[in-house]
Structure 1
Amino acid sequence: MPRAVDHEQRRFEIVAGLWQIVAEQGIEGVSLRTVAARAGVSMGRVQHYFGTKDALVIAGIDLLVKQAVVGYEATVGSPPRDRLLHLLLQQIPATEAGRIGVTVWYAYVAKAMTHAAVREILAEATRVGVEECTRHVQEADGLGEVEARARAIELLSLSDGLTLRVLIGDITADEAESSIRAYSSRLPGS
């Protein structure tokens, strides 16, 4: 009797290999061969699931965004301030896995400058992040939409800047998290 194959698990294992390569060498270090070797599968399996390097690269950012959405959706039912903090803190690389994830994210940000499909995925993810952050600022602080959107962009920019500083080793993840918590506690409705 043939074994049941979990195709989603196989795809994930290949994408996890991709992320490791991207974290170490950037997207320019990606080839079907290097990803197959890192994932411990044959190059034929990588080609079967993704076909081309470009399809694999796009699948990598798509899955990264989907995982962030799943993490955020786990906060449904929490107070708006807690959901807002999740949006602001989720990218701070507090663990080695988090550092790899954020390093991969920023490699994709760089790739978006020259790759339309990657740029489109990142633009949509960013747009949704701003919308969600705006909604939580409105709920938590009672601001109008225009003021809440401006505040949301300000908060997300603070989080982005602190994340970069953690990645380069200028500050620790704890310092970044403390800064975000301290700043957000001074906002109306806190």
Structure 2
Amino acid sequence: MSRESLLDHVVDVIADDGMGGLSVRAVAARAGVAIGTVQHWFPTKSAMLLAAMDRIGGVADDAHRHAVVADDPAERLRETVALLVPADRESRVSRVWLAFAAQAVADDEVRARYEQLWSGIQRGLAGRLAAAAPQATAAAIDDAAAELLALSDGLAVAVLDEPGRMPAERARAMALRRTDEIVTALLD
């Protein structure tokens, strides 16, 4: 079995069972391979996790490239923010991302990778904000990007953990409304 196909099973275990369910044994059972095969490609649980983070980051980047198509800078920003809030509780990328966030609290390697990935997302939001409000200061843009990322992150957790209280449609509407308010404030 290739590393890439085995990595899909790692992501599936995390999405279905969280970090508590991730083990060499669980991945081997899901993939239908020997434990040694998993250990060949991923000698530690941390190696599995870091590879899964990279995979999910790539999946998210691909989704962004295909979903953000508007010509208008403000609309491109809105499309980007909408992607940060999961469409439903079953979002594989969001479920795995939430598991990464929880693991980052206790694992320095995961935290470093998590911060790296989030910094890239924040820089992307800042670039979209700067295009939508070119006269805004760099400090205002940076604060707005941090706010949108924090809001989107919190809404994503609510969609995944409390869908009765925070259905995806409501969460996305809130994120987009706040995005519009931020752009308007930056334009003033």
Partner of 1:184: 179
Instruction: Name which of structure 1's ranges 72-81 and 15-24 shifts more when overlaid on structure 2.
Output: 72-81
Which one of the candidate residues 71, 83, 86 is aligned to 1:90?
83
RMSD: 2.2
The answer to whether the 8 Å contact 1:87/1:129 transfers is no
Structure 1 gaps, min length 5: 1-6
Specify the SS of the correspondent of 2:84: coil
For 1:1-190, what aligned pairs fall within 5 Å after superposition? 10-74=2-66, 75=68, 78-95=71-88, 98=91, 100-142=92-134, 143-168=136-161, 169=163, 170-186=165-181, 187-188=183-184
The answer to whether the 8 Å contact 1:72/1:83 transfers is no
The structure with higher relative contact order (CA 8 Å, sep 6+) is: 2
Structure 2 gaps, min length 5: none
What is the percent sequence identity of the aligned residues?
28
Q: Deviations over 1:31-50 (max 9, x none)?
A: 11110111233323222222
The answer to whether the 8 Å contact 2:88/2:167 transfers is no
The answer to whether the 8 Å contact 1:27/1:107 transfers is yes
**Residues 120/83 of structure 1: CA separation in 2 closer, same or farther (3 Å cut):** farther
Give the aligned residue type for 2:133: D
TM-score normalized with structure 2 length: 0.83
Structure-2 separation of matches of 1:94 and 1:121: 25
Specify the SS of the correspondent of 1:90: helix
Question: Aligned pair count?
Answer: 180
Give the aligned residue type for 1:85: R
Give the aligned residue type for 1:181: L
The answer to whether the 8 Å contact 2:81/2:176 transfers is no
